[in-house]
Amino acid sequence: MASIHSKITLAFTALTTLVVIGAVVAFLNLLFLEQRVEQGMAVTNLEATIQDMRREEKNLFLYQDTAAGQAADKLANQALGWLDDTPEVLAAVGQPLQIQHLHSVLEDYRAALAGYMQQVPAQMVLEAQIREQGHRASHIAESLFVHERQALKQALTAAKWAQAIGVGVLAVLLLTVGHLLARSVVAPLKRLVADLNPIAEGRFDRLALTSRNAEMITLRAAFNRMLDELEARRRRLIQSEKLAALGVLVSGVAHELNNPLSNISSSNQLLLEELDTADLEVLRDWSQTIDSETERARRIVDALQDFGRRQEAHLETIHLADLPKFA
């Protein structure tokens, strides 16, 4: 038989477990988003580096500025560093073949740029080759950037749905645990209060020991023992009141009987003393007094017997026509 304490402990354990599970799920979701953000930063840095490289490339071709060419080469080398330092992150965004192709394009770009820098002003063939390789690198980087933004958007959408579903599931589980706790703890207390209302109204009925909670059964048993003790004390009180009432009644009866007995005793004493010398009429008066007082004592005794005699009810068939008529 389960106790209320164990049910409450189980409920709080379940709630704690649910909160911990929700926290773990939220933490894992944040880790996933953090990973996506890191991937986005890597792709953004790569794409921005290649765009800066193209701008320096344009300055080189427009102004024949060797410093711009050196800057373009440095940026291309930096882009290759991004590819080499974060291969797993970039591989999660694009296909491995795409990353390898971008790496080879940047190497060809640097090689063509180095040849161009040695022959400034160089042939138009090298310039076209540099532009073509730069365009390929920029296109691949933009493709990776767009793909990463789509993946990040999908991850954010999935995270929002996961958060909403997690909150909904947690709310349902909390309501379920609360309902079970109310049914297991609050409902027995309400039944106990309902069972105690007759006692408050003066009806000392024993409480039924029908409950699934050990505390409720113990409490009901304690109330039953208390009711038994109250009933025993009530009976003793009634008995004491009966004895007190009997004492008052006996005292009154003794007083009522003392009067006729005293008169009988006095009349009888006079009768014995004056039996030989008193007139016949006087003797008759004393005898009548003794007789009347004796009848008085008998009536007192009969009244007491009628008072203590139980009147039994009985059924009797009568005719309506025989009943008296009222005007």
pLDDT in tens, 207-248: 666 666 666 667 667 777 777 777 778 788 887 887 777 677
Task: Enumerate the CATH 1.10.287.130 domain ranges in the chain, comma separated.
Answer: 237-308
Residue with tokens 């009806």: 203
Give the span between the Cα atoms of 54 and 69, in whole angstroms. Answer: 10
Distances (CA, A) of 304 to 88, 259, 301, 307: 114, 16, 5, 5
Q: pLDDT tens across 3-46, in order?
A: 666 767 777 787 788 778 878 877 887 887 777 777 778 788 88
Sign of torsion, CA 107 111 114 119?
A: negative
CATH fold group of domain 4-188: Four Helix Bundle (Hemerythrin (Met), subunit A) (1.20.120)
Spatial contact of 260 and 252, defined as CB atoms under 8 Å apart: no
Dump the DSSP string for 162-196: HHHHHHHHHHHHHHHHHHHHIIIIIHHHHHHHHHH
pLDDT computed for residue 120 by the predictor: 58
pLDDT computed for residue 307 by the predictor: 64
Q: pLDDT tens across 116-138, in order?
A: 877 755 567 777 888 888 888 88
Spatial contact of 3 and 215, defined as CB atoms under 8 Å apart: yes
Q: pLDDT tens across 166-193, in order?
A: 788 878 887 887 777 777 666 667 776 6
HSE on the CB side for 97, CA within 13 Å?
Answer: 0
Which residues does 167 contact at the CB level (< 8 Å), separation at least 6? none
Task: Enumerate the CATH 1.20.120 domain ranges in the chain, comma separated.
Answer: 4-188
**Mean per-residue pLDDT for 103-108?**
88
Give the span between the Cα atoms of 139 and 133, in whole angstroms. Answer: 10
pLDDT computed for residue 195 by the predictor: 67
Residue 79's pLDDT band (cuts 50, 70, 90): confident
CATH fold group of domain 237-308: Helix Hairpins (1.10.287)
Q: pLDDT tens across 249-308, in order?
A: 777 777 777 777 777 777 777 767 776 776 777 777 778 888 887 888 788 777 776 665
